[in-house]
Amino acid sequence: MRLPGWYWLSSVVAVLAACGAGAEQAHNLTEELRDASAQAACPARLEGRGKCEGSQCGFQLTLPTLTLQLPQQLGNMEQVLKEVRALKEAVDSLKKSCQDCKLQADDHGDPGGDGAGPAGDARVQELESQVNKLSSELKDAKDELQGLQGRLETLHLVNMNNMEHYVDDKVANLTFVVNSLDGKCSKCPGQESTQSQPVQHLIYKDCSDYYMIGKRSSETYRVTPDHRNSSFLVYCDMETMGGGWTVLQARLDGSTNFTRYWKDYKAGFGNLEREFWLGNDKIHLLTKSKEMILRIDLEDFKGLKLYALYDEFYVANEFLKYRLHIGNYNGTAGDALRFSKYYNHDLKFFTTPDRDNDRYPYGNCGLYYSSDLSIESSGSGSVTVQNIECDCCRIDTAQGTSILQSVKSQKLHVQTKGGNVNCLGTIYGNIDIHASRQSTVTVDKLQGSCVNISTEDGMLKVKYLYTESSFLTSAAGDIALGNVHGNITLQSKMGNITVDSSSGCLKASSHQGAIDVYVSQLGEVALTSQEGAITIKAPPSLQAYLRLSGIEVVVDPEAHVQEMAKEHEGGSVTVTGLMNQASRSERWINAVAPKGTVSFKHQSWFQSLKLQD
């Protein structure tokens, strides 16, 4: 057997270290070996080779063959060592792979890593299989949960309905018992016996009851859907689809803000003659007293009318969050209350910005569907807004033109620093328009509760103005109005004021400009021009008390002014009189022009038409 190299070299070194003496020691060793070989034939020999040089001499050592007896298992030592080396290399490779996986997992935030080699792939496949299995089980559990939730909701609604009917029946029974006991009460001692006369009370539960007794005028009526609750006023539509409709909501011109909280929708708000919400408590009583149908009428800016009709309509009480129930749909507007699986309002609760009762997971629908619009334009950029309805609209431009067409807004604010404002079609709502410098404002038709318009040097022109209260001013520009209705206040410092037709209360004043007004229907008219002239035109049928004062007062003889009187004071003339026996306190025209002429002219309604474009 051949020993490993490292074992053989160490033996040689040991031997050499033992033989590293000088020549004398080597000679002695040779002699000793010779003696030993003579005594025991030992094949080990040490012989000198060559000459000695200094302290160094050359020798040759001859060793005998060494034979050792080792166990049989050591015969495969070399193969074992090869396998050990291979295993060591495999272990090192695995360590490196694991280290790489760990680094990769740290980078991606995945402590599990992706594995390495075939073993890693198998692990990944196993994990994917487990994930797929869990996903499938999760989907099954989710489907089952949705099914149970649907059943639970159905049972909940049924129980709530039963509870509501139960409570109503109990209240009705108690009311009947109280009334019966009240009728059985004994008379007070000593009270004279009188025969009580039965009093018949007519109770109208809704507008259809009024229609049945012959009422055909669309106006407000008092109804009592439930005699255990107080009566209240409703607006009855006696014309649409045969008449007898109780109006729950009306939106006409955007003058009322409908972005409100729970308590407002509970009690109701607005004006029954204009825009309003009747109130959830009242709607509940109305729909509870009878089987109701719901009709929704819509009209766009161009006059196109559509409707939606539901053959069942019921609103629960506040305890049930005013839950809505609607029946089958018919009409031309489309089924907006139930047009898809995920947008179905049937059996859903009422939601306001402060009470989130809807099932929308990402927010509050009552708050989400309120609408605001805000536009700002710098430089000469123009803005066009058309066919839109919003709760609050704000438009602010620098030099560009603002064009508004068919806009409805609870609050409309338009401001420009140098551009013009053009309003086409009809603009509804509470309106504020402010134009600076030479900017002009031109409007086809404004309709709302409150209107404020102002210009600096530019012209202000409105063809039709229907409002409860309006305030229009211009510093140096003219104010030209067509038909105006309501309480109107006009002010101009240097410009002229013209009104083609006024119905209602009109106040107009100018410092240097002239005033020209046609009064068609009178409330109160007050006109003042410090330095300009005033011209008033009126139809012959107008009833008015006149008080006209100026440097000169001219009254048309065809005006037929009775009891006319003239007074001169301080260089001015004051004329008073009556038209068509008018009251001196209710309807009057007061015109004052300290430095100008006041003219009162007769003009028929037909003649006034030429002033209207």
Q: Is the pLDDT of residue 529 over 50?
A: yes
253: amino acid identity, one letter: D
**Which among 171, 163, 154 has a CA at the least distance from the CA of 317?**
163
Predicted confidence band of residue 609 (pLDDT cuts 50, 70, 90): low
Predicted confidence band of residue 499 (pLDDT cuts 50, 70, 90): very high
Over pLDDT 70: what percentage of the chain? 69
Residue 608's pLDDT is 57
Residue 496's pLDDT is 94
Predicted confidence band of residue 23 (pLDDT cuts 50, 70, 90): very low
Kindly report the number of other CB atoms within 10 A of residue 484's CB atom: 26
Q: 329 near 308, Cβ under 8 Å?
A: yes
Average pLDDT estimate for 140-167: 67
Residue 17's pLDDT is 37
Residue 464's pLDDT is 92
Q: 546 near 561, Cβ under 8 Å?
A: yes
Predicted confidence band of residue 131 (pLDDT cuts 50, 70, 90): confident
Between 106 and 584, the higher pLDDT residue: 584
Q: Is the pLDDT of residue 132 over 60?
A: yes
Q: 95 near 117, Cβ under 8 Å?
A: no
Average pLDDT estimate for 418-432: 88
Q: Is the pLDDT of residue 331 over 60?
A: yes
Between 478 and 146, the higher pLDDT residue: 478
Kindly report the number of other CB atoms within 10 A of residue 501's CB atom: 21
Predicted confidence band of residue 237 (pLDDT cuts 50, 70, 90): very high
Highest mean pLDDT among 150-154, 404-408, 439-443: 439-443
Residue 39's pLDDT is 46
Highest mean pLDDT among 245-259, 467-481, 575-589: 467-481
Over pLDDT 90: what percentage of the chain? 31
Q: Chain centroid to CA 344: how far?
A: 19
Mean pLDDT of the chain: 77
Q: Which residues of 561-575 are buried (b: 16+ CB within 10 A; e: fewer)?
A: beeeeeeeeeebbbb
Average pLDDT estimate for 117-144: 74
Average pLDDT estimate for 106-124: 58
Q: What is the pLDDT of residues 535-561, one digit of tens each?
A: 988 888 787 888 899 999 988 887 778
Residue 550's pLDDT is 92
Residue-range domains of the chain with CATH: 207-368 (3.90.215.10), 373-611 (no CATH)
Residue 578's pLDDT is 84
Q: What is the pLDDT of residues 175-227, one digit of tens each?
A: 555 555 555 554 444 444 444 444 444 689 999 999 999 999 999 999 999 88
Q: For 511-540, where are the E strands, in sequence order? A: 515-529, 534-538
Region for residue 334 given its phi and psi (left: phi exceeds 0; alpha: psi -120 to 50; beta: otherwise): left
Q: Is the pLDDT of residue 583 over 80?
A: no
**58/61 Cα distance (integer angstroms):** 10
Predicted confidence band of residue 488 (pLDDT cuts 50, 70, 90): very high
Least confident of 257-271, 306-320, 374-388: 374-388
* Strands 324-326, 305-315: pairing kind: antiparallel
